[in-house]
Amino acid sequence: MSARPKKSFGQHFLHDRHYIDSIVRAIAPRREDFLVEIGPGEGALTLPLLAAAGKLTAIELDTELIPGLRERAASVGELHVVHADVLKVDFSAMAHSHGVPRLRLAGNLPYYISSPILFHCVEHAPAIQDMHFMLQKEVVERMAAAPGSKVYGRLSVMLQLACQVEPLFDVPPEAFRPPPKVESAVVRLQPIPRHELHDARPEHLYAVVKAAFGQRRKTLANALRQLLDSEAIRRADVDPRARAEMLAPADFVRLAKVYSSLA
Ligand code: SAM
């Protein structure tokens, strides 16, 4: 029944009942939810989620897995499979076309594209109610890191400006078939309501954060030289002698706003 897991698709199938149950409990699906699973694979999470919610949309890139998934789901609930690369899925359009205000996303993500998937979801944050993702533990640590931490960086700032980041629990390699080489962890992301969001232009925020952490050992005066001079950095209420890793996410927003005013 089981297909041979494909490395190129980042396939590591969950088989440990304890962790599957813990993830489903953390999601706590309800009948009124519009649940979307990224990378259903052979259905380890799909089937219990479907049983609880009654319906579910799953996005899977590997065509070979789809017939088996449909077959297993048939007696459980209403499964809608979208054969696509998740990075090309417009979640805002999906919510709109189904007449729902926001989607609930879940998935044991393919690790080879976990950061691009996270950035893609952040772009659609207003159309998302929450996300429960399995990721490499090291990625979850970076997402939740505070200023001053060695792993605080671009991912921490961009995610924390858009979402509340809540690491939930760790999952060992043996819970998967085949076991990945790394530890995993489950994280909950809850987009911050739009009215509480900063109003910096996304492309300017992105540029400032990228430049600042591109040379994280340098002072901001040096790292941001192409975008802002010391005087402009001071105008954002930031010390040009500081390094990116000491700045709070809100500091980057002020820097981006000054950059917008000059661009
Ligand atoms: N959810 C299953 C489980 O927990 O056993 C499978 C998880 S496996 C880590 C990742 C899944 O994502 C695989 O089914 C893989 O084929 C799928 N996948 C890989 N790249 C993808 C992409 N770009 N878009 C959608 N699905 C993708």
For residue range 210-248, list pLDDT tens digits in order: 999 998 889 999 999 999 999 999 999 999 999 999 999
Helices (H), the chain: 17-27, 46-53, 66-73, 91-97, 114-123, 137-144, 154-162, 202-214, 220-223, 230-235, 249-262
Please report, for residues 1, 76, 145, 212, the alpha-carbon distance to residue 139 in angstroms, rounded to integers and kept in the order given: 32, 33, 10, 20
Specify the domain boundaries for CATH 3.40.50.150 within the chain.
7-196
Distance 210 CA to ligand 1 centre (A): 28
Report whether residue 186 contacts ligand 1, using a CB cutoff of 6 Å. no
Among residues 14, 228, 223, which one has the least CA distance to residue 108?
14
Smallest CA separation from ligand 1 atom 23, residue: 85
Model confidence pLDDT, tens digit, residues 163-218:
999 999 999 999 999 999 999 999 999 999 865 667 788 899 999 999 999 988 89
Q: Is the pLDDT of residue 2 over 80?
A: no
Structure confidence at residue 211 (pLDDT): 97
Q: How far apart are the first and last CA of the chain?
A: 58
Distance 86 CA to ligand 1 centre (A): 9
| DSSP output for 227-263 | T--HHHHHHTT--TTSBGGG--HHHHHHHHHHHHHH-
Model confidence pLDDT, tens digit, residues 22-43:
999 999 999 999 999 999 999 9
Q: What is the pTM of this model?
A: 0.95
> What is the rounded CA–CA span in Å between residue 22 and residue 34?
20
Provide the residue type at 62 as one letter. D
Provide the residue type at 4 as one letter. R
Fold of 202-262: Helicase, Ruva Protein; domain 3 (1.10.8)
Structure confidence at residue 4 (pLDDT): 83
- Provide the sign of the torsion angle of the four alpha carbons 248, 253, 257, 262, taken in this order: positive
Specify the domain boundaries for CATH 1.10.8.100 within the chain.
202-262
Structure confidence at residue 197 (pLDDT): 64
Out of 93-107, 119-133, 185-199, least confident range: 185-199
Q: Which helix (H) or strand (E) holds 224?
A: none
- Residue written as token pair 């205000």: 101
> What is the rounded CA–CA span in Å between residue 130 and residue 71?
28
- Residue written as token pair 């899925």: 89
Determine how many CB atoms are found less than 10 A away from the CB of residue 177: 15
Going by DSSP bridges, is the β-strand pair 163-171/184-191 parallel, antiparallel, or unpaired? antiparallel
Smallest CA separation from ligand 1 atom 11, residue: 39
Tokens at residue 18, please? Answer: 């304890």
Fold of 7-196: Rossmann fold (3.40.50)
Report whether residue 184 contacts ligand 1, using a CB cutoff of 6 Å. no
Structure confidence at residue 16 (pLDDT): 98
Q: Are 234 and 240 in contact (CB under 8 A)?
A: yes
Model confidence pLDDT, tens digit, residues 53-84:
999 999 999 999 999 999 999 999 999 999 99
